[in-house]
């Protein structure tokens, strides 16, 4: 699903070069649920941005679903993000002036679907996160947990095979966070590959595979490897 080999990312300013990622290699199989941990500034967000095609990398090779992405232009990368990747952010990043229906509609618009095709997909996605009854509400009328559910619905509406989550529970209280985690686990069990960045050691320990990054390199990896194959079997 995701294959990174020797990825380097260097930020240059006039005075200094910072190696955000150094010879970073990682392979994620279809259906896995991988958590990424590490201290602030270790490079985990850089990894996520590169994985999500939001940033380019300096050297190395990255194949997403068998496609080498380094040569793709902005238009093709946008296409890939739209079709294959769902994003979930710590601060939700819902469009404040769009209601829930329109928020979930955004990726489908970019996919160019007809209104008659979009409507059932949106309703289904909102139903799956338990917010079907609030389609006309604005994000500001919802609680944090509900907003994150909308964001998840938005990430899932286009049936991506790959979900990238950046501290999805970071802005939520522990009860709500647990609900969101359960939702993500259900999604994973239905076959969507998930890579989640978190600094919550509890969550990391619970996941099947945890990668700890330090100074732009994979420091250690814990996981119950056999689960990945069984996950694929479930899908």
Partner 1 sequence: MFFYYLRLAALSYRRNPILSSLMVLAVAVGIAAYMIVFTLNYTMGGDPIPHKSSQLFAVQLDNWDPNTDSDPPQQLTYTDAMALQQAGRAWRQTASSKFSGIVEPDNPELRPFMFIGRGAYADFFPMFDVPFQYGSGWSADADANLEQVTVLSRDLNERLFGGANSVGETITMDGTQWQVIGVLDRWDPVPKFYDVNNGPFDSGEELYIPWGHVVARELPRSGNTNCWTAIGGSGFQAFLNSECVWIQYWVELRDANEEAEYLDFINGYVQEQKTLGRFGRPLNNALYDVNEWLLKEEVLPDETSILSMLAAMLLAVCLLNTIGLLLAKFLGKSAEIGARQALGAHKGSLFIQHMIEAGFIGLLGGLLGLLLAHYGLEGVKILLGNELMMTDWIQLNVPIVITTIALAIVSTVIAGLYPIWRACNINPAIHLKTQ
- Residues at the contact surface with partner 1, assessed by CB under 8 A: 45, 49, 52, 54-55, 74-75, 77-79, 81-83, 85, 87, 89-91, 93-98, 106-107, 109-111, 154, 158, 166
Q: Which is nearer to partner 1, 17 or 40 (CB)?
A: 40
**Minimum distance, C-beta of residue 55 to partner 1, in the bound complex (Å):** 5
**Minimum distance, C-beta of residue 44 to partner 1, in the bound complex (Å):** 11
Q: Which is nearer to partner 1, 77 or 119 (CB)?
A: 77
Q: Which is nearer to partner 1, 31 or 52 (CB)?
A: 52
Q: Which is nearer to partner 1, 171 or 222 (CB)?
A: 171
Compute the distance between CA of residue 51 and CA of residue 22 in angstroms, rounded to an integer. Answer: 15
**Minimum distance, C-beta of residue 224 to partner 1, in the bound complex (Å):** 30
**Minimum distance, C-beta of residue 87 to partner 1, in the bound complex (Å):** 4
């Amino acid at each position: 699903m995701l294959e990174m080999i020797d990825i380097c990312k260097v930020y240059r300013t006039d005075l200094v070069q910072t190696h955000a990622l150094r010879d970073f290699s990682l392979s994620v199989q279809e259906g896995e649920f991988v958590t990424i941990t590490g201290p602030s500034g270790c490079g985990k967000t850089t990894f996520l941005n590169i994985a999500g095609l939001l940033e380019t990398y300096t050297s190395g090779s990255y194949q997403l679903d068998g496609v080498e992405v380094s040569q793709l232009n902005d238009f093709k990368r946008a296409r890939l993000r739209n079709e294959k990747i769902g994003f979930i952010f710590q601060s939700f990043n819902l469009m404040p002036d769009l209601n829930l229906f329109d928020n979930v509609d955004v990726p489908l618009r970019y996919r160019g679907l007809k209104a008659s095709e979009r409507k059932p997909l949106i309703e289904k996605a909102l139903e799956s996160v338990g917010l079907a009854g609030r389609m006309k509400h604005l994000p500001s009328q919802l609680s944090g947990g509900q907003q994150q559910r909308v964001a998840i619905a938005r990430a899932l509406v286009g049936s991506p095979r790959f979900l990238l989550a950046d501290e999805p529970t970071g802005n939520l209280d522990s009860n709500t966070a647990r609900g969101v985690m359960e939702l993500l686990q259900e999604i994973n069990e239905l076959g969507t590959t998930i890579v989640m960045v978190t600094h919550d050691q509890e969550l990391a320990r619970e996941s099947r595979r945890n990668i700890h990054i330090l100074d732009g390199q994979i420091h250690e990896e814990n996981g119950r490897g056999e689960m990945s194959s069984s996950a694929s079997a479930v899908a």
